Amino acid sequence: MIRLKCTVAYVGRAYDGWQSQKLGLSVQENIEAALHDICGKKTNITASGRTDAGVNAAGQVFHFDTERDMTPRKWMGALNGHLPDDIRILEVEIVPRTFHARYSVRWKRYDYCINLGPYDVFSKDWAYQSPVAMDPAVMEEASRYLIGTHDFTSFNSSPLSEYPDQVRTIRSIRFTREGNILRISYEGKGFLRYMVRMMTAALMEAGRGKTSAEHIRTMLEAKSKTIARKNAAPNGLTLQYVDYFDILALNENGMYREFLMEDTLPHGFVLEDLERRVRENVYPRAYALTTRHSQELLGTLLLEDETGGKILLYQDAEDTVMSLQEGLRERLGEAFDPVMIHGADPSEPVSLK
């Protein structure tokens, strides 16, 4: 049994979203139907997340497990041979079973495109055709209130009964102009339902002069499900790219060690519990933890794996961690077996147990 990671692009116009459903045609069911034809049995796929009806993707990612022995190139050709022209597999990779298309995500990028010029039949499937003028400078000024970690209750339609925690982090919002096309790029770890489209609708209202840039802050602080009632049209939105943490880390002996990215931690999770699980072989590999809880708990953590080797877990967003590791190598000698985790900056100075 192997696990395959696939990158797929699709035009959302003809589909009722990514996820399979009883009524309507989805991207997922098209791909699973293709896999059924290839494998001769039902094969479930797991994506990085859902896209809504009419939303496009340039870099959606999904994984599936199979016993079928084919090279990635042959898998890509076989899948594309069974898929409609508006769904295209761009890449297929063999990955460790620890990889998960949803839970191993580092961040995602969504692009919303707006045509500020005359109606363009060639861009209508991927860019919203604005009937009125907008001021991109005002929109960019307003977007600054959305960057960072906030409670986005006002800017999504996910019910509080199902998603009580509506705090999310937006790493950046960038505006670029390509001729008549204004592209707004949102990067973040995760987004709630309609979140990008509702934020974009509010920015467009500011750009049209119907509200002020400061009104975005008022809406955000209101934490109300009724204050933002508009969604930007789905055709302007594209899931552009999904970035993942490294699935494999190379140790000093040239051997690869697998580790899993956990999405959530149980309440009250402590470092001693992680160490116990590693010692008792509950976790045969040291797990890399990337949640807000782990960011508070982990600066640097030294553990022993089942082979008795030392593993250093370190969280850092920049490649400058290499200079730090060199210093640790001198202190620890041959016992130092680095596993780099590109995630969040450590909340505390480096300390070794």
Q: Is residue 202 part of a domain?
A: yes
Report the DSSP beta bridge partners of residue 61: 7
Q: How many domains does the chain have?
A: 3
Do residues 48 and 64 share a domain? yes
- The whole-angstrom separation of Cα 98 and Cα 248 is 10
Domain limits for position 169: 105-239
pLDDT score, position 159:
85
Q: What is the CATH number of the domain that holds 29?
A: 3.30.70.580
Q: Is residue 253 part of a domain?
A: yes
Q: Is residue 295 part of a domain?
A: yes
- Which of 239, 265, 294 finishes a domain? 239
Residue 44: how many CA atoms within 13 Å on its side-chain side?
Answer: 4
Do residues 110 and 198 share a domain? yes
Q: Is residue 205 part of a domain?
A: yes
Do residues 252 and 318 share a domain? yes
Do residues 88 and 135 share a domain? no
Using the CB atoms, write b or e for 30-43: b if 16+ within 10 Å.
bbbebbeebeeeeb
Do residues 230 and 288 share a domain? no
Q: Is residue 130 part of a domain?
A: yes
Q: Is residue 53 part of a domain?
A: yes
Mean pLDDT, 10 residues at a time, over the chain (353 residues)? 95 94 89 97 94 96 95 96 96 88 88 97 95 96 95 91 87 95 94 95 96 94 90 96 65 32 35 50 38 38 42 38 42 40 34 30
pLDDT score, position 203:
97
> Known catalytic residues?
52
Q: Is residue 91 part of a domain?
A: yes
- Which of 239, 258, 282 finishes a domain? 239
Do residues 124 and 227 share a domain? yes
Do residues 288 and 188 share a domain? no
Do residues 321 and 306 share a domain? yes
Q: What is the CATH number of the domain that holds 226?
A: 3.30.70.660
Q: Which distant-in-sequence residues (6+ apart) come within 8 Å of 86 by Cβ?
A: 10, 11, 13, 14
Map tokens 């690869």 to a residue.
Answer: 256
- Which of 73, 95, 117 finishes a domain? 95
Do residues 46 and 143 share a domain? no
Do residues 203 and 114 share a domain? yes
pTM exceeding the 0.85 threshold for the entire prediction: no
Do residues 65 and 30 share a domain? yes
Do residues 334 and 259 share a domain? yes
Q: Is residue 347 part of a domain?
A: no
Using the CB atoms, write b or e for 90-117: b if 16+ within 10 Å.
eebbebeebbbbbebbbbbbbbbbbbbe
Within the chain, residue ranges assigned H as helices are 27-39, 72-82, 136-143, 195-207, 214-222, 271-279, 292-297, 321-332
pLDDT score, position 308:
44
